[in-house]
Each structure stands twice: as structure tokens, then as C-alpha cells.
Amino acid sequence: MGPSLYTMVEPVEIAELGVYVSALKLPRVPENWPKLLASWKSHDMETWIQVVDALAVAGLHHVLFLAFNAVSAFRYGYNKLKRLEAELLLVLSGTDRFLRAVELAGAKTGRPGVAIIVAKGRDACAHSAERISASIDGSDALPGQTREEAIVVAIARSLDVGSSALNSVGDDTRVILYELVEEGALIYC
């Protein structure tokens, strides 16, 4: 028997905010994902789950930054929406308009997706990841982004991947991540 999901999808703590974050790559967002979402969350009021389009996510570090920005917005009272799950989508899409955020980064049935879990407890985060993995075949921990995947996300988000800054730095993935994180944070300006 291989390693349990509990060790494979280890929640990452954002100690400054008292939350844990996990992200799972979904090979295909199922048609009944809104119903599944309710079952994944169960009755835990301190766990938030958002399913997004995989093309909007540049790896685990991107998810951690967007979770940090969205949770900070709630902690310090400058959130745009009433629900953290929706706020995550705003930050990910880099817009303060919810319908536009859904269009840019919302989950698309039948396409690859990412389930983002934010919870106040480590165990709650891990259990949610287990429930998701048990209900969607082929789901796995979200890895760091490869250069090619980062460029695909950048193109999908209309970032200028041919810019001299990108070429001169040499580490395209970090530059793209920086640009995506900055774009998400700017919705609060």
C-alpha cells in the first residue's frame, strides 16, 4: 500500500494568519462539482474550499500567496465580498468584479481544475483534501509550476511573456508568479 493522501497533501501553515492551505490538481472538474463542494466542506464553518480553472493557477506558491491576500483582506476588513471562497476567486483573477472573476478563473466543467482549501485547523484542511481526493479520481497534490506551465498561465492571463524583464531575469516562473501575485493584490488599491 502506498503513502496515504494525508502525507501526500500536507497542509501548509500560514502562521501569520492562523490558517492552513492545501491545493489539489483535479484532472477534470465534474459536472456535479457544486454539490460535491458542499459535501467536501461538510459542516466545518472554519474551512473554505474554492474550485478554480487550472489555467488560472501557477502552482502551489501562487495558491499560498492568493490565500494570504484573501485571508488578510478579511482579517483587516478590506475584503470586497462576504465569503472567503469568493474573495479567493477575485484575488486569483486580479479583478474586483465577481462575474468577471468567474469568467477568468472559475471552474469549468470537464476541464482541469484546482481545489483550494483554506482552514483554521491543520486536520480540517487535511480531511477536506482527503474527501476531495476520494471523490475525484486522479486528483493529486498541486506541485510547483514548470516554466512551460507558468508561461501558459501568463498567456491565459494576458501577461507580457515576451517582455525584456522576463527574458533578462532568466527565471520566468518566478517573474510570472510575481506578476500574478501583484495583479491579485492590486484589487485592494
Write the DSSP string, 145-182: PPHHHHHHHHHHTT--TTSHHHHHHS-HHHHHHHHHHH
Mean pLDDT of the 58-65 span:
88
* CA dihedral of 146, 152, 156, 157, whole degrees rounded to 10: 40
pTM for this structure?
0.82
Domains contained in the chain, CATH given: 5-188 (3.30.2380.10)
- pLDDT tens track for 68-103: 999 999 999 999 999 999 999 999 988 889 999 999
Flag whether pLDDT at 167 surpasses 70. Answer: no
